[in-house]
Structure 1
Amino acid sequence: MTKPTSNATGASFGKLSYLVVDDFENFRLSMRQILRNCGADKIESVANASAAVQYCAYNHVDVVLCDYNLGEGKNGQHILEELRHKKLLKRSSLFLMVTAETSKEMVMGAREYQPDGYLTKPINRAMLEKRLGSLIAQRNALLPINREIDRENFPEAISLCLQTLPSQPRYKTWLMKTLADLYYQVGDFSHALKIHDDVLSQRDLSWAKLGRGKILMANQDYDDAAATLKELVSQHPDYMEAYDLLAEALEKQGRPTQAQQILEKAAERSPNALLRHKHLAILASANQDMPTASQAWRQTVSLGTYSIHDNSEHYLALGQSLSDLSEGDSSDEGAAHADEALTILRRMEKRFAGEEDIKLRSRIVQSRVHAGQDRLKEAQNALDSIADELDPGLLPPEACLDYAKTLFRLGREADAKSL
């Protein structure tokens, strides 16, 4: 016999709109029934990522219950990433990742985009009512603050946080963190720093230490920021945001090699974060560490397959780094790098066919790859295929630089210098 839902719980569930995302119809039907038993009424369900993003683009959703593994294509992490990037979720909306998989790699990757919670399959009504009910209660208590933040009315949000602190002690941590973030947003670093220091004087909380590091960075106190963030990474090695900020602090200190090492550790712990791999690739390239740069670009391209952050520049950068690795290397390894570069550049031409200058930039690098392997005929053929577009006066600056490098490799030093 189904246990009746309390009036309070039913009312809180009943006022909200829900979206269930799962590729199995039976699970969608099951979740719909469980939500109805909890008092929910406005429930929509979809089978894949594109339908989920499209629905959120045209409809307000209070609660998203999204399976992590959606079969071929985008997964739950990609959906959360895209919804956050496009700002299709309000701060008051709840996103719960539903999964039968609990691997560290999955959890670390999904956590980068801050879901409000996780639900492990199989799901029953008691579990959903308890987990989601507490999140809804918090959502309702803090709704006025989140509304003002969504409106970017930060002074009013600060005022509401200060008013709510005495009356809602159970949400003190959330209120203090939000208040510090709001002070940071409006540039009031002294008040933000005081909150973090007050919190740290009572408890050693990761978010407060990270916030302190952010403020020290904003004040250009890079030495203290680096020291604070190193301590945080040492104490909480799974707190990924600290690695990113520490790498930034080390760069500001003029220590790019150490910054690269920090990002390498972070990428190893949480291997599904595209933007971190991209940062690592750029840093390794600047450090002239082309093997690491190539591997990081390789990961960036791979993770971009279903990501909102996919970009032709990632493919081009991978092709360029592999070109650098293969240049003048006649070994099997050198030839393999050259072949991989050509493959990735051809893929780029197909995947981003509609983008301006894609073919132009691809063929310039392809020519350099061939030249680096002493295949001069193929190198010239690549340039001949874009001969009509090789007007130095019309080339974009990045393509000009690439073209000059290619001309140098082809032994046309006078043309390269002129360009």
Structure 2
Amino acid sequence: MTKQDFSKKKALLIEDMAEARIMQRKMLTDFGFTSIDIAMKAETAIELLRNTSFDVILSDYNLGNGKDGQQLLEEIRHSKLIPNTATYLMVTAETSIEMVMGAIEYQPDGYITKPFSQAVLQRRLNKLLETKDKLYKVNVALDASNYKEAIQAAKQVIKQHPALTGKCERIIGESLLELKEYKKAFSLFNKTLKNRKMPWALFGKARCYFYMNDMEKAEQNFRQLMLDNRFFVSAYDWLAKIQVIQNKIEEAQSTLIEAIGKSPKNILRQMELGNISLSINDYITAEMSFRRSVFLAKYSCYNTADVYLKHLEALARISDSGPLNPRQRDNFDSTLKKVHEFFFDNPDNKAKSYSYEIDIFLSENDLSTAKQIFEVWLSEVESNLATPPTKQQYSTYEKSFGN
């Protein structure tokens, strides 16, 4: 292994605990790092990443109040705040399946479990940076979304460093999928699987079948992957996609419930389960999924109005069968408050929240409050501050108010 010259590398250390921060900083200094920025919480790290390029990011999983290490990595990936050429190492004292599964979905370059020695950290960083150096041209091409160039560079790496064949084949396969060259990608994944049973190759092959519109074979391969590797949670998402296409909505719902059991912190998966549950009028499951989404959204980059409005919608649909129970009513009020606080300046959001609130008061037979909200809504429509009610809403509410 080539010994790295860390003095030329810029590091970002993200750690909320003072003792661990001091110790890890000392380790990095001992390795030769001369440029080390410190962030005690995720928000500070994001600000630093927006304005500075780092070669190495060492991030703890538990970061106190606010975003945790998984949500930080989720945002970094979503906002493309670090290039493929950078090295991201997750540090954790937690080994729960929920944590590991959640973080794996956003693909750090590696993990290191606390407590660790200076020698162990140095070995891990050396190995990761050595691999990054060998894949430098590949990663530069990927950062530029130049997939043809990435494929050529990866082929060169295979010739020069045969030990990186698996990693390079995976990059080539993913690049071919990006280029929509599904037959070539299929051939590569198939060839890999003949030599060694790699989960990523089976995942690639299954997606090729999906893109080539062979849903039966895609389903077989995703199911095989779920059997071979129960931690490959993305396979469940793709199987659910197929089931939706085949109009097997209840099966898609069951598949997503199973996936969430393995990795509950993925907000997009929770939202998908909620939407599917709404579509089959399973409002109890929908409400539970959207409630979890609201909880996850607070520190997520997917903190959008839709998350909160969907939760209100699920509760409003439950109220069609009678008044909400006290816990559900509290949840409705809490989510409505967040819509008012963060998303109420949008006319569509305003209209939706008014309609759900009216539905709740109608279910409680509180006609005067429901009517007051409707009148406020109509006055805001006149001022162009809210989208007008639909014809159906007009008709329903006027009947309910006895007009």
Scaled by the length of structure 1, what TM-score is found?
0.90
1:80-127 deviation digits (Å, cap 9, x = unpaired): 111111101101111111122221111111111111111112232101
Q: Which residue of 1 aligns with 2:399?
A: 411
CA-based RMSD: 2.3
Contact 1:154 1:186 survives alignment (8 Å): yes
Contact 2:11 2:55 survives alignment (8 Å): yes
Shift of residue 26, structure 1, vs aligned partner? 2.9
Give yes or no for the alignment of 1:9 onto 2:3: yes
Runs of at least 5 residues in structure 1 that lack an aligned partner in the other structure: 1-5
Match for residue 345 of structure 1 among 336, 341, 346: 336
Q: Which residue of 2 aligns with 1:20?
A: 13
Shift of residue 15, structure 1, vs aligned partner? 2.5
Give yes or no for the alignment of 1:195 onto 2:183: no
Contact 1:76 1:97 survives alignment (8 Å): yes
Match for residue 365 of structure 1 among 332, 356, 368: 356
Contact 1:62 1:93 survives alignment (8 Å): yes
Partner AA of 1:182 in structure 2: S
Please list, as runs of the form range in 1=range in 2, the aligned pairs for 1:230-379 lying within 5 A after superposition: 230-330=223-323, 334=325, 336-379=327-370
Contact 2:189 2:204 survives alignment (8 Å): yes
Counterpart-to-counterpart distance in 2, 1:236 and 1:386: 52
Counterpart-to-counterpart distance in 2, 1:231 and 1:222: 14
1:206-233 deviation digits (Å, cap 9, x = unpaired): 1111101111111111111011111111
Give 3-state SS (helix, strand or coil) of 2:213's partner: coil
Contact 1:407 1:413 survives alignment (8 Å): no
Which stretch of the first structure deviates more once superposed, 173-182 or 337-346?
A: 337-346
Shift of residue 162, structure 1, vs aligned partner? 1.6
Shift of residue 351, structure 1, vs aligned partner? 3.1
Change (3 A) 1:55 1:170: same
Give yes or no for the alignment of 1:43 onto 2:36: yes
Counterpart-to-counterpart distance in 1, 2:248 and 2:157: 43
Shift of residue 406, structure 1, vs aligned partner? 7.1
Shift of residue 363, structure 1, vs aligned partner? 2.0
Shift of residue 291, structure 1, vs aligned partner? 0.9
Match for residue 372 of structure 2 among 377, 381, 389: 381
Which stretch of the first structure deviates more once superposed, 53-62 or 25-34?
A: 25-34
Contact 2:74 2:106 survives alignment (8 Å): yes
Partner AA of 1:387 in structure 2: L
Change (3 A) 1:98 1:342: same
Shift of residue 270, structure 1, vs aligned partner? 0.8
Give 3-state SS (helix, strand or coil) of 1:199's partner: helix
Give 3-state SS (helix, strand or coil) of 1:77's partner: helix
1:326-371 deviation digits (Å, cap 9, x = unpaired): 22424xx545434432332122211334545444432221011111
Runs of at least 5 residues in structure 2 that lack an aligned partner in the other structure: none
Please list, as runs of the form range in 1=range in 2, the aligned pairs for 1:70-85 lying within 5 A after superposition: 70-85=63-78
Which stretch of the first structure deviates more once superposed, 378-387 or 125-134?
A: 378-387
Give 3-state SS (helix, strand or coil) of 2:399's partner: coil
1:230-276 deviation digits (Å, cap 9, x = unpaired): 11112211111101111111112221111111001001111111110
Contact 2:315 2:328 survives alignment (8 Å): yes
Give yes or no for the alignment of 1:152 onto 2:152: no
Shift of residue 393, structure 1, vs aligned partner? 9.3
Q: How many residues align?
A: 403
Match for residue 228 of structure 1 among 211, 221, 225: 221
Counterpart-to-counterpart distance in 1, 2:196 and 2:383: 61
Which stretch of the first structure deviates more once superposed, 49-58 or 385-394?
A: 385-394
Partner AA of 1:93 in structure 2: A
Change (3 A) 1:61 1:407: farther
Scaled by the length of structure 2, what TM-score is found?
0.94
Please list, as runs of the form range in 1=range in 2, the aligned pairs for 1:95-110 lying within 5 A after superposition: 95-110=88-103
Change (3 A) 1:98 1:286: same
Q: Which residue of 2 aligns with 1:3?
A: none
Partner AA of 1:60 in structure 2: S
Counterpart-to-counterpart distance in 1, 2:100 and 2:310: 29
Partner AA of 2:53 in structure 1: H
Counterpart-to-counterpart distance in 2, 1:344 and 1:312: 10
Shift of residue 157, structure 1, vs aligned partner? 1.4
Shift of residue 395, structure 1, vs aligned partner? 5.7
Counterpart-to-counterpart distance in 2, 1:394 and 1:225: 47
Shift of residue 315, structure 1, vs aligned partner? 0.9
Shift of residue 186, structure 1, vs aligned partner? 1.0
1:259-310 deviation digits (Å, cap 9, x = unpaired): 1110010011111111100111111111111111111111111111111111
Which stretch of the first structure deviates more once superposed, 145-154 or 27-36?
A: 27-36
Contact 1:320 1:341 survives alignment (8 Å): no
Change (3 A) 1:382 1:293: same
Give yes or no for the alignment of 1:121 onto 2:114: yes
Counterpart-to-counterpart distance in 1, 2:398 and 2:326: 18
